[in-house]
């Protein structure tokens, strides 16, 4: 019996660019069959880590193996064992989808007899069968992404790396990409290692690692991470928000803020707190909602800073700062 | 790395160049415009001051090898530019991360450029009759072979520079700056005899000289012109009075191509 090799394993993996420590010593273990999410803001070092794992960038320190092969000493073995979808598109727009795939099959040495069937398979999986003969330049952004994922799978890799596979796509297309990824994990015996800076997408992963400024701050399942924050988000609307906020501060020792037009605060055991709130606040409450912490909250709680993303609005940043400060 | 796998990669990179060439009719036509203008407008215009013909040989006939070289020159450079283009649009990375040796990519690219550029030359070759050069199979084969060598060397040169220059505009500007002097000094426009010393030296340094001359020799070998005329218009390339034989000229072109191919491979090995 052989012990199944780890899909990805890294110890002290680091990369410097001149004076920038892009990745500052990362330890990672990804088991075969997992969907592993790498979560962090822009510039956190996600792409650089992926590039080191995919043998595109030499680590300046540390070691890593992918599918059991060393990323420095067994480059070609690693490359054959992985599929890659980059953050930036790498398709040839002049060629058709089929021609792009055929080219990939040749570059990866897919056995001639298997190419046709494999192409039909992956095109079907991403729903591009009827557009297979169109030039890629006529594709929409979402179709290109799907084709890239199909291409990454063509040579039946053991680990598929996806660097921000849904960035820049509209919500519907993002959802459809995720449908394909979920379909994929059901159908193929494959490990998926992906990065994202969309918190909601990390929910789809079996485990996630939060990376900030080149360091992994925590690795766990999304559920465990959310549980670890230990606080729920409570939002109330009242006729007199100022008075409600003052009362909250005085009687319950919480720091409410106005977020999304509602008085918002964090407290452990939010649902059990609601009856007390009604009894003791002294300001009439029109509505109340309690939500479990999101991964945004998790991120803030672990990194202590706002996610430096264009998507985040001012009010949610304020909320996040509060979550972080009140840990 | 298995050789057969790398050869598959060479072939598919070459094939991609061919697909792109044949799909791009506009490029084929526009690449023909310059040599055709050169041949018919410049050739015809200039022949008025030389009273239509130089010793019985039409000026267009004389300029014909130059037009062939020109067609190859521009197409080969365009092919090489596509590497810069591929980098900008990301496709180069798809090739660079594949589990193949880098030489396979560079060789495939150079062979692709060489093939498309010499095919472009063949289109000009079809005009032989119009400029008074008799059609003959041996002429077509000889010239095609020589153009293939030239195209290969030019693409290797382009790919070598493209490894360094990552912006399309800079690449185009550099080539514009280099191509015109190379072309003017190559003997495409005038016989390389009886020139002032400085110009003679420059023409002998120009690598393109050693590609244009063999083509002209092949063309003149198929003309039935008096010996004196041939001597005047097709003096060949001399070093200190010694006429450089065709085989040596072709060796020079090939050696340069192979050297630049080597440098290109070496440069792409370092690239990530
Ligand atoms: N080739 C490079 N040269 C210099 N700095 C780089 C290079 N690649 C990345 N960096 C820097 O390393 C840091 C991490 O970048 P990256 O890994 O791309 O982050 P992410 O993918 O998480 O957005 C950034 O500060 C970035 O500017
Ligand atoms: Mg990135």
DSSP calls for A173-206: HHHHHHHHHHHHHHHS--EEEEEES-HHHHTTSS
Q: In this structure, what token pair is assigned to residue B18?
A: 């061919």
Partners of residue A8 on adjacent β-strands: A30, A66
Task: Decide if A85 contacts A161 (C-beta within 8 A).
Answer: yes
Cβ distance of A80 and B99 shorter than 8 Å: yes
* Smallest CA separation from ligand 1 atom 4, residue: A17
Q: For position A262, what pLDDT does the model report?
A: 83
Share of chain A above pLDDT 70, in %: 92
Q: Which of B98, B100, B270 to mutate to test binding with chain A, by most A CBs within 10 Å of its CB?
A: B98
A326 pLDDT more than 80: no
Nearest to A297 by CA among A258, A262, A327, A260: A327
Q: Where residue A319 falls among pLDDT bands split at 50, 70, 90?
A: low
- Reported ipTM exceeds the 0.90 cut: no
How much is the average pLDDT of A204-230? 89
Buried b / exposed e over A170-199, threshold 16 CB at 10 Å, is eeebbebbbebbeebbeebebbbbbbbbbb
A322 pLDDT more than 60: no
For residue A159, the SS3 value is strand
- pLDDT tens for chain B, 272 residues long, are 688 899 999 999 999 999 988 888 888 888 888 888 888 888 888 877 766 556 667 788 888 999 999 999 888 888 888 888 888 888 998 998 899 999 999 999 999 999 999 999 989 998 888 888 888 999 999 999 999 999 999 999 999 998 888 888 898 898 888 888 999 999 888 888 888 989 999 999 999 999 999 999 999 888 887 787 788 888 888 888 899 999 999 999 999 999 999 999 999 988 76
Q: For position B159, what pLDDT does the model report?
A: 92
Q: Which of A90, A154, A163 to mutate to test binding with chain B, by most B CBs within 10 Å of its CB?
A: A90
Exposed/middle/buried for residue A276 (C-beta within 10 Å: 0-12, 13-18, 19+) = exposed
Of B2, B94, B272, the CB nearest to A90: B94
| A66-109 tens-digit pLDDT | 999 999 999 989 999 999 998 888 999 999 999 999 999 999 99
Partners of residue A191 on adjacent β-strands: A159
For residue A220, the SS3 value is strand
Q: For position A36, what pLDDT does the model report?
A: 95
How much is the average pLDDT of A209-226? 90
Going from the Cα of B94 to the center of ligand 1, the distance in angstroms, rounded, reads: 20
- Whether pTM > 0.95 for this model: the answer is no
Neighboring chain A residues of B20 at a CB cutoff of 8 Å: 94-95
If you search the block for the tokens 């016989």, which residue do you land on? B191
Domain boundaries, chain B: 3-270
Cβ atoms < 10 Å from Cβ of B266? 14
Nearest to B63 by CA among B249, B197, B187, B243: B187
Q: Ligand 1: which atom is nearest the Cα of residue A44?
A: 22
| A267-305 tens-digit pLDDT | 888 888 889 888 888 888 899 988 887 777 787 777 765
If you search the block for the tokens 């394993």, which residue do you land on? A9
Neighboring chain A residues of B5 at a CB cutoff of 8 Å: 109
Going from the Cα of A85 to the center of ligand 2, the distance in angstroms, rounded, reads: 12
Residue B202, CA distances (Å) to A124, B152, B192, B197, B248 in order = 61, 23, 11, 9, 19
Most confident of the following: A1-10, A304-313, B130-139: B130-139
Task: Please report how the helices B102-125 and B25-36 are oriented relative to each other, as an axis angle in degrees rounded to 10.
Answer: 60
Q: For position A325, what pLDDT does the model report?
A: 47
Cβ atoms < 10 Å from Cβ of A138? 10
How much is the average pLDDT of A205-227? 90
Share of chain A above pLDDT 90, in %: 46
Neighboring chain A residues of B93 at a CB cutoff of 8 Å: 86, 90
Neighboring chain B residues of A137 at a CB cutoff of 8 Å: none
Per residue, what are the HEC states of B47-89?
Answer: HCCCCCEECCEEHHHHHHHHHHHHHHHHHHHHHHHHHHHHHHC
With a 6 Å cutoff on the Cβ, whether A100 touches ligand 1 is: no
A316 pLDDT more than 50: no
With a 6 Å cutoff on the Cβ, whether A44 touches ligand 1 is: yes
d(CA B209, CA B171): 23
A314 pLDDT more than 50: no
B124 or A189: which carries more pLDDT confidence?
B124
With a 6 Å cutoff on the Cβ, whether A43 touches ligand 1 is: yes
B271: contact with A, CB 8 A cutoff: no
How much is the average pLDDT of A31-48? 91
For residue A97, the SS3 value is helix
């Amino acid at each position: 019996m052989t012990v199944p090799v780890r899909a990805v394993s890294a110890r002290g993996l680091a990369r410097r660019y001149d004076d920038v420590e892009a990745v500052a010593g990362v330890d990672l273990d990804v088991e075969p069959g997992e969907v592993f999410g790498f979560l962090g803001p822009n510039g956190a070092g996600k792409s650089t880590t992926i590039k080191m794992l995919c043998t595109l960038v030499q680590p300046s320190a540390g070691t890593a193996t992918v599918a059991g092969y060393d990323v420095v000493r067994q480059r070609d073995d690693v490359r054959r064992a992985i599929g890659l979808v980059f953050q930036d598109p790498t398709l040839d727009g002049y060629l058709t989808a089929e021609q792009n795939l055929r080219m990939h099959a040749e570059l990866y040495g897919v056995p001639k007899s298997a190419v046709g069937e494999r192409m039909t398979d992956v095109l079907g999986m991403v729903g591009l069968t009827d557009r297979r003969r169109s030039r890629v330049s006529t594709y929409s952004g979402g179709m290109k992404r799907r084709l890239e994922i199909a291409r990454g799978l063509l040579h039946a890799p053991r680990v598929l790396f996806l660097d921000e596979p849904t960035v820049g796509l509209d919500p519907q297309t993002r959802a459809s990409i995720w449908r394909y990824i979920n379909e994929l994990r059901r159908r193929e015996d494959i490990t998926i290692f992906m990065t994202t800076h969309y918190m909601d997408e990390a929910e789809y992963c079996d485990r996630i690692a939060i990376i900030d400024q080149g360091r992994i701050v925590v690795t766990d399942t999304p559920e465990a991470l959310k549980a670890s924050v230990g606080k729920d988000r409570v939002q109330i609307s009242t006729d007199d928000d100022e008075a409600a906020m003052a009362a909250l501060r005085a009687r319950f020792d919480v720091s409410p803020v106005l977020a999304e037009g509602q008085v918002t605060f964090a407290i452990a055991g939010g649902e059990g707190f609601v009856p007390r709130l009604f009894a003791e606040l002294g300001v009439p409450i029109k509505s109340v909602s309690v939500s479990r912490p999101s991964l945004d909250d998790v991120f803030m709680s672990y990194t202590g800073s706002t996610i430096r993303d264009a998507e985040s609005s001012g009010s949610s940043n304020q909320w996040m700062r509060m979550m972080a400060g009140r840990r | 790395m298995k050789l057969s796998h790398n050869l598959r990669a060479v072939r598919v990179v070459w094939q991609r160049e061919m697909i792109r060439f044949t799909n791009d009719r506009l490029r084929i036509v526009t690449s023909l415009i310059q040599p055709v203008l050169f041949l018919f407008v410049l050739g015809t215009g200039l022949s008025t001051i030389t009273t239509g013909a130089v010793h019985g040989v039409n000026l267009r006939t004389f300029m014909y090898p130059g037009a062939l070289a020109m067609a190859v020159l521009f197409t080969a450079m365009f092919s090489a530019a596509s590497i810069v283009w591929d980098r900008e649009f990301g496709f180069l990375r798809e090739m660079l991360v594949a589990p193949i040796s880098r030489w396979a990519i560079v060789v495939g690219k150079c062979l692709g450029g060489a093939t498309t550029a010499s095919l472009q030359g063949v289109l000009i070759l079809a005009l032989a009759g119009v400029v008074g050069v008799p059609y003959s199979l041996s002429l077509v084969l000889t010239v095609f072979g020589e153009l293939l060598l030239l195209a290969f060397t030019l693409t290797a040169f382009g790919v070598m520079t493209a490894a360094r220059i990552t912006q399309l505009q800079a690449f185009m500007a550099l080539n514009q700056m280099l191509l015109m002097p190379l072309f003017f000094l190559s003997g495409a426009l005038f016989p390389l005899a009886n020139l002032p010393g400085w110009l003679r030296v420059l023409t002998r340094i120009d690598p393109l000289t050693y590609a244009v001359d063999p083509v002209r020799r092949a063309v003149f070998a198929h003309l039935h012109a008096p010996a004196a005329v041939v001597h005047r218009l097709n003096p060949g390339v001399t070093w200190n009075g010694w006429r450089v034989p065709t085989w040596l000229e072709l060796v020079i072109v090939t050696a340069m191509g192979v050297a630049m191919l080597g440098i290109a491979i070496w440069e792409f090995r370092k690239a990530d």
